[in-house]
Structure formats: C-alpha cells, structure tokens
Amino acid sequence: MSAVSSLRTAAAVTTAKVTAVVSRRLGFGGGTALPGLVADAVSPGLAIRLAARLGHGSVLITGTNGKTTTARLARNIAQAAGYWPVHNHSGSNLMRGITACLVEATDARGQLTQPDRRLGVFEVDEATLPEAAEALSPRVVAFTNLFRDQLDRYGEVDSVAAVWRQALATLPSSITVVLNADDPSVAGLADACRGPVLFYAVSDASCAVYEIEHAADARWCPACGREYSYSAVFYGHVGHWVCPGCGRARPAADVQAIKVEQSPDHPLRLALSTPSGEIDLSLPLIGLYNAYNALAAVGVGLALGVPADAIRTGAASFTAAFGRQERMTVRGREVQTILAKNPAGLNQVLRAISAEEGTKNLLFLLNDDIADGRDISWIWDVDFEMLAGQATLVLASGRRAADMALRLKYADIGAHPVIEEDTESALEMALALTPEGERLYVVPTYTAMLKVRKLLARWGRRPPFWEED
C-alpha cells in the first residue's frame, strides 16, 4: 500500500469512527450505517482494503429470510473455532453497513487488531450480493431462501435469482457455496457455481405441512415449465420437490436435519447428519424456518473446516438477535418480539405462535417506510386465518395500522382489532391489556421493530442493541 493511500485509509477510518460516536450520542440509533457512508465518501474502496486484511477472508450470507439469525449463528460457530469474527451484528447489510463494521474493528490508526485471527461474517442484502462479492472476495457464500419481498424495491423474485446467478458465475472456483436443497430457487443456483457446493436440507418429513401456502413463489420448473410436485412441504415452496416434467429434483444434501423437535416453550432441537458425523443442537428459537437457519450456519462452519465440537459449542452460546425472536419480561408480562418482513416469513411466525398453547395477546405493527417496503399489499398474501379464533387481544399499530386491522378483521382471529397508530401508545396499551403472567406477542415490520426494541430496552432495562454481545 502506498503512503498516500495508507494515509487516506487512516483518515477515513478516523472520520468514520468519530461519526459513529456522534451519531450514537445524537440518538440516531446504533450508528451502524452512517459511519460507513462517511467512510465511503472519504475513501472509496475502504471496504476492499480493510477486507483484504482479514486473515481468514470472509463469509457472505444472503437470502430473503433468515440472514440475521444464520449470520449470528455462523459468527458464534466461528468464534468457538478460535476465529475473531468481524460481524455486522446490527443487521445493517448494505455495503455501507459492512464498511462501518469493518471500520469499527480497527484501532485508532486504522489498523485491524489481530488481523491473522480475523474472519468476516457478513449478512448481505439480496441486491447487494454482487457488489459485496466483488469487494470482499469471500471464501464461502451461503444462501438461505428466495421469496417475494418488497416487490417495489427488489423487483420480482426472478430478477433477484438472475442477479445472484451473475454474481456466482464471476466468483473464483476456490469458493464454496452453501445452498438450501429444499428451496428449488436456491438449489438451482448450483448450475451457476464454478467451485464446490454444499447442500443442506431437512429430511425429517414428520414436520411437514399438508399443502403449499399462498406465500409460495417457486411453483414452476424454470427448465420445462411444469408445476413442481411435493412429497413434503415445510413452508412456502420449501420442501421435498421434484419436477414431474423433466425430473429435476431436490439434490442430495450433505448436511441434513434427520430429526426436528419443536414443542411449546421448548427450544428447537435438531439432530443433524453431517460429513463430520452427527451433531445435536438445541436452540432458543421457535419455528421450523429456524431449523433451516441452523443448517445453513452449520454448512458455513463445515465449509470453513470447523470441527464438529466447535460447531456444538458455538451453537450452544447462541442467543437470538433483539427483535428477531427475543423473549423478555416487561412489567410482569413476557414479551416476545418477532420481526415480520414478508409473506413467507410472517406465515412462519404465525405458525409458530399458533403452535403455542392458550389464547394469544397480539400486537402487529405495520409500517410502509422504504426499509419496510412502500407497498403493503403483501399482508393479503399472509395466511392470518391460521390464527382464527385464537386471540383475546388484537392490536394494530404503525403507519398502516388501519390496513393491518382490516386484514386481521378478515381473518376472524378472535377479538375485534383495536387501532393505535403510535408505537409507544400501542405498546403501552398492549402491556396494560395483557393479563399479568401472560405472554404478549409483538410482531413488527423492520422500521417498527427499531422503535419497539428501543422502548422495550428502556422498559425492560436491557442494553440497546448496538451494545449487545
């Protein structure tokens, strides 16, 4: 590196660090994206130069749902294996968020501390994958699933798949790609991979649902146009699929969940069969979709050469990200906040909630900011009907509270929906109306979650998210 460029890097790093502190002080949130933006402006290519110093390179994790949970789990597994991960744990997954987290890992002189132990573990926005793959020269790239999400922002699912294929075709053949065999759109990416591919899947068909949900997106074989047939559907279009036309089928998986156990109030228990032997995991998460996140993370670990013991240890140290699936006690009520971003994800959340015993206290928050998607029509693709008659308390909040309330009215989920647009008032009301000792489910879209967790952190006396872990 030339002296000038080195100076520029140091200057960019310092500016970005100052910005992060100022942004936090001013209460702009975690200060996780703004410093990245500033660093980019000061020194274009900063991420490329910092990433090049990561001794063990980096892992990229992308897909519609499950990125954050998969990346956190992969980070824990890497830690247990002795790596010192650089990880965008706040979920800031555009290039500027990744840059910000690289900057945060440097010292005052702009040097990465202990570079030879460093491994980047980055969750990456679907549309950002090509840019991230080029800038960060990953060792492993993992894909979770592909569903419709914010059509006004990402475009149709076909165009997302096309962008991924292009990115994969440009990667060197030394890179391992980790793919979900049960999602036909993700499994099909194998054709575009130039190097080794590691497939993961759920083989325990006992947790299958009986019919394909309304949120399914890949119903037709891209090769011959016939509709896939399924011997088991786990969620959306994820399951044991085969094309009756051309015979394309779910590939054999390297990492398989041979047993999935879920019971109310108990963590998800998985028995995995892997090339490194059997691995049993127990995770503080609900919902079958999280079995897939665990499989993807274990796949990443195996692709990195992490031994089975370290995978067990890493997974055992896992806690859910705030707002993703966390339970906490606030004013004598157990509050479980679960993020909902799109039809497939929300269906899984609802399935998990409806599997729990008793009547439910529910608060849904629907915003339509850019980060949520301006178009809220997706709530009509969600099968809220599966909660029919189960709720004693239903509140709708957020900028599009009335739209949410109307959707809930149609689903006849029990109580008549109450509308309170303001997040704080809605949360206050929900806590007051939830009988003491009972659980309140809070289901927000992304920007609503940011507000919810700030409030709950204050009321539940828990550190704000950027100080987490």
Partner 1 sequence: MEADLRLAHLYPKLMNLYGDRGNILCLRRRCQQRGIALTVDELELGDTLDPNAYDLIFMGGAQDREQRRVAEDLLETKAEALHQAVAEGVVLLAVCGGYQLLGRYYRPAAGEELAGVGIFDAWTEHPGADVKRFIGNVVVRWQGGTLVGFENHGGRTYLEPGARPLATVISGFGNNGRDGSEGAMQGENAFGTYLHGSLLPKNPRFADHLIAQALKRRHSEVALSPLDDALEERAHAEAVGLAKKKLGFLRR
Minimum distance from residue 194 beta carbon to partner 1 (Å) = 26
* CA–CA separation, 343 and 275 (whole Å): 34
Distance of CA 342 to the CA centre of its chain: 12
Query: Which among Zn ion, partner 1, none contacts residue 459 (Cβ within 5 to 8 A by kind)?
Result: none
Q: Which is nearer to Zn ion, 18 or 223 (CB)?
A: 223
Rg over alpha carbons for the chain, rounded to the nearest Å, is: 22
∠ CA 175-177-180, rounded to 5°:
175
Q: Which is nearer to Zn ion, 249 or 386 (CB)?
A: 249
**222 scored as a contact of Zn ion (CB under 5 A):** no
Ramachandran sector of residue 34 (left: φ over 0; alpha: ψ -120 to 50; beta: rest): alpha
Encoding tokens for residue 394?
């239903």
**221 scored as a contact of Zn ion (CB under 5 A):** yes
Single out the residue of 111, 7, 96, 133 nearest to residue 55, CA to CA: 111
Q: Which is nearer to partner 1, 229 or 377 (CB)?
A: 377
Q: Which is nearer to partner 1, 134 or 375 (CB)?
A: 375
Minimum distance from residue 97 beta carbon to partner 1 (Å) = 24
**One residue of 169, 205, 223, 370 binding Zn ion per CB under 5 A:** 223
* CA–CA separation, 446 and 154 (whole Å): 16
Minimum distance from residue 447 beta carbon to partner 1 (Å) = 15
**245 scored as a contact of Zn ion (CB under 5 A):** yes
Taking CB under 5 A as the binding criterion, the range among 203-211, 224-232, 313-321, 428-436 that sits at the site for Zn ion is 224-232
Q: Which is nearer to Zn ion, 224 or 370 (CB)?
A: 224
Encoding tokens for residue 142?
């993992």
* CA–CA separation, 406 and 396 (whole Å): 9
Q: Say if residues 66 and 147 touch (Cβ distance below 8 Å).
A: no
**162 scored as a contact of Zn ion (CB under 5 A):** no
**One residue of 21, 205, 224, 258 binding Zn ion per CB under 5 A:** 224
Size of the residue set binding Zn ion (CB under 5 A): 7
Query: Which among Zn ion, partner 1, none contacts residue 419 (Cβ within 5 to 8 A by kind)?
Result: partner 1
Q: Which is nearer to partner 1, 151 or 208 (CB)?
A: 151
Minimum distance from residue 219 beta carbon to partner 1 (Å) = 6
Please, what's the b/e burial string for 257-272 (b: 16 or more CB within 10 A of its CB; e: otherwise)?
A: bebbebeeeebbebeb
3-state secondary structure of 85: strand
Interface residues toward Zn ion, by CB under 5 A: 221, 223-224, 243, 245-246, 248
